[in-house]
């Protein structure tokens, strides 16, 4: 995995001032941009790998570890996959997508935490309820929130992995469901619509939504008249393939550096979908980018059903005859990087000797350092 020719951090450093002149940033958006602009620079410190055999020196600066940074997610993704491999059931899974209707996107911008929470809750409640009533089982769900399209427009939706089967309601057996269609999308969409509209009414009663009676009534009438979008299809048979597939969603940010095709002072051109591209002014590009920064400490990956109930999950595995997966020690960040990219940062590229490390202090004062919530994370 080589370095890409263009970097979102450069766009941030050059155009953040113009962005802030065009629109106010929330505190979490400002911190995300600051972290991205400092990531892997001398400002955060780092270390120099020194080969005592041949004298080669290779500086490496610390990562910001911000979850919105396109350069800081690959190792986190691999570690998440390793951890989840101990929990996932050894059966096939379905992939679903539950989309927030367009009419609700303005509200989601204003009350993102509450609307996203409702989207998660209604997605899981819909699937679990239909699993019980139509299939007679307790399903397992893993959900991931995304808020973007390939051209960075605002489009909140939840990706969900659903077990192709579940624990019987009496808890005594596990029922595999060997079918192409787990649940039909029309009744799923209808139930999802009802649950989310009820959630909106409750948010208004609680004073979260301050729409007037007329505006709220118009919104609800429009939502009721629409056909809501729900997608559900079988993905992979093997759990390891399922995890690798979901891993592409769990730690993805709106856009990766690898999708940038050309960056000038006036234009950013990037790949979108099916060979197409989009071109934006750098400020417009950053405006689209920051709208996908999630609220502080918001959980974008959630589990429900069997995957949120350790005892029920253990019973399901027992019924399937699945032995507990041996706990594998987490690889060091050097080992994970070698597996992921083929780059060996522990040995000299020139002579193969073991490298020694000399630490480089940060050139930022403590109050301005971009600190990780986990100081033991890889640099």
The confidence band for 372, taking pLDDT boundaries of 50, 70 and 90, is very low
**94 within domain boundaries:** yes
At residue 65, the pLDDT reads 86
Q: How far apart are CA 366 and CA 266, in angstroms?
A: 35
Report CA-CA distances (Å) from 177 to 162, 235, 347: 11, 14, 49
First and final CA of the chain: distance in angstroms?
18
At residue 252, the pLDDT reads 78
Instruction: List, for residues 321-332, the tens digit of each pLDDT value.
Output: 875 555 666 666
The answer to whether residue 335 scores a pLDDT higher than 70 is no
Instruction: List, for residues 27-60, the tens digit of each pLDDT value.
Output: 999 999 999 999 988 888 888 888 887 877 777 7
Mean pLDDT of 160-169: 94
Domain count, the chain: 1
Instruction: List, for residues 95-150, the tens digit of each pLDDT value.
Output: 999 999 999 999 999 999 999 999 999 999 999 999 999 999 999 999 999 999 99
Report CA-CA distances (Å) from 379 to 1, 45, 62, 100, 290: 18, 9, 4, 37, 24
pTM: 0.86
Instruction: List, for residues 245-279, the tens digit of each pLDDT value.
Output: 777 777 778 999 999 999 999 999 999 999 999 99
**334 within domain boundaries:** no
The answer to whether residue 175 scores a pLDDT higher than 90 is yes
Helix (H) or strand (E) holding 279: strand 277-280
The answer to whether residue 167 scores a pLDDT higher than 90 is yes
- CA angle 226/231/235 to nearest 5° reads 180
Are 137 and 129 spatial neighbours (Cβ–Cβ below 8 Å)? no
The phi-psi region of residue 148 (left if phi > 0; otherwise alpha if psi is between -120 and 50; otherwise beta) is beta
The answer to whether residue 287 scores a pLDDT higher than 90 is yes
214 is written with which tokens? Answer: 């007329």
Print the domain residue range for 225.
87-254+297-319
At residue 50, the pLDDT reads 84
Q: How far apart are CA 7 and CA 311, in angstroms?
A: 45
**205 within domain boundaries:** yes
At residue 131, the pLDDT reads 97
The confidence band for 378, taking pLDDT boundaries of 50, 70 and 90, is very low
Q: Which residues, including other chains, have CB under 8 Å from residue 36's CB and lie 6 or more apart?
A: 8, 9, 12, 64, 66, 68, 69, 70
The answer to whether residue 10 scores a pLDDT higher than 80 is yes
Q: Of the ranges 56-70, 189-203, 293-307, 334-348, which one carries the lowest mean pLDDT score? A: 334-348
Are 49 and 361 spatial neighbours (Cβ–Cβ below 8 Å)? no
Residues 227-244 as b/e (b if ≥16 CB within 10 A, e otherwise) read ebebbbeebbeebeebbe
**264 within domain boundaries:** no
The confidence band for 178, taking pLDDT boundaries of 50, 70 and 90, is confident
**304 within domain boundaries:** yes
Q: How far apart are CA 379 and CA 375, in angstroms?
A: 9
Mean pLDDT of 56-80: 80
Q: How many CA atoms lie within 13 A of 146 on its CB side?
A: 24
Radius of gyration of the CA atoms of the chain, in A? 23
φ/ψ (deg, to 5) at 105: -65, -40
Are 44 and 64 spatial neighbours (Cβ–Cβ below 8 Å)? yes
With tokens 């999950």, the residue in question is: 313
**70 within domain boundaries:** no
The confidence band for 1, taking pLDDT boundaries of 50, 70 and 90, is very low
**177 within domain boundaries:** yes
Are 84 and 156 spatial neighbours (Cβ–Cβ below 8 Å)? no
For the residues of 63-113, what is the DSSP string, one character each? Answer: P---TT-TTSSHHHHHHHHHHHTTTS-SS-EEEEEEE--GGGHHHHHHSHH
**202 within domain boundaries:** yes
Percent of the chain with pLDDT over 70: 88
């Amino acid at each position: 995995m080589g370095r890409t020719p263009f970097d979102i951090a450069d766009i941030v450093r050059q155009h953040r001032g113009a962005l802030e002149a065009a629109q106010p940033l929330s505190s979490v958006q400002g911190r995300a941009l600051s972290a991205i602009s400092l990531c892997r620079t001398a400002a955060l410190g780092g270390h120099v790998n020194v080969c005592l055999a041949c004298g080669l020196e290779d500086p490496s600066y610390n990562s910001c570890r911000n979850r919105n940074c396109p350069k800081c997610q690959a190792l986190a993704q691999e570690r998440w996959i390793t951890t989840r491999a101990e929990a996932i059931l050894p059966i096939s899974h379905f992939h679903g997508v539950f989309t927030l209707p367009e009419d609700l996107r303005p509200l989601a911008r204003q009350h993102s935490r509450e609307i996203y929470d409702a989207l998660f809750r209604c997605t899981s409640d819909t699937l679990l309820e239909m699993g019980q009533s139509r299939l007679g089982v307790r399903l397992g769900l893993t959900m991931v929130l995304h808020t973007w399209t390939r051209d960075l427009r605002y489009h909140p939706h939840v990706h969900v992995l659903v077990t192709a089967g579940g624990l019987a309601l009496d808890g005594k057996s596990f029922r595999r469901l060997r079918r192409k269609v787990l649940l039909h999308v029309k009744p799923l969409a209808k139930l999802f619509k009802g649950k989310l509209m009820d959630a909106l009414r409750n948010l208004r009663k609680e004073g979260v939504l301050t729409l007037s009676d007329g505006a709220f009534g118009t919104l609800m009438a429009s939502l009721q008249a629409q056909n809501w979008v729900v997608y559900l299809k079988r993905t992979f048979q093997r759990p390891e393939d399922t995890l690798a597939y979901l891993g592409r969603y769990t730690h993805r940010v709106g856009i990766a550096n690898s999708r940038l095709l050309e960056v000038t002072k006036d234009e950013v051109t990037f790949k979108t979908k099916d060979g197409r591209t989009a071109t934006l002014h750098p400020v417009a590009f950053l405006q689209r980018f920051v709208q996908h920064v999630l609220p502080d400490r918001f959980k974008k990956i959630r589990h429900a059903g069997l995957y949120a109930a350790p005892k029920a999950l253990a019973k399901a595995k027992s019924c399937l005859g699945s032995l507990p997966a041996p706990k594998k020690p987490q690889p060091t960040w050097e080992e994970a990087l070698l597996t992921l990219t083929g780059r060996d940062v522990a040995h000299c590229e020139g002579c193969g000797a073991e490298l020694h490390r000399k630490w480089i202090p940060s050139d930022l004062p403590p109050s301005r350092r971009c600190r990780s919530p986990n100081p033991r994370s890889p640099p």
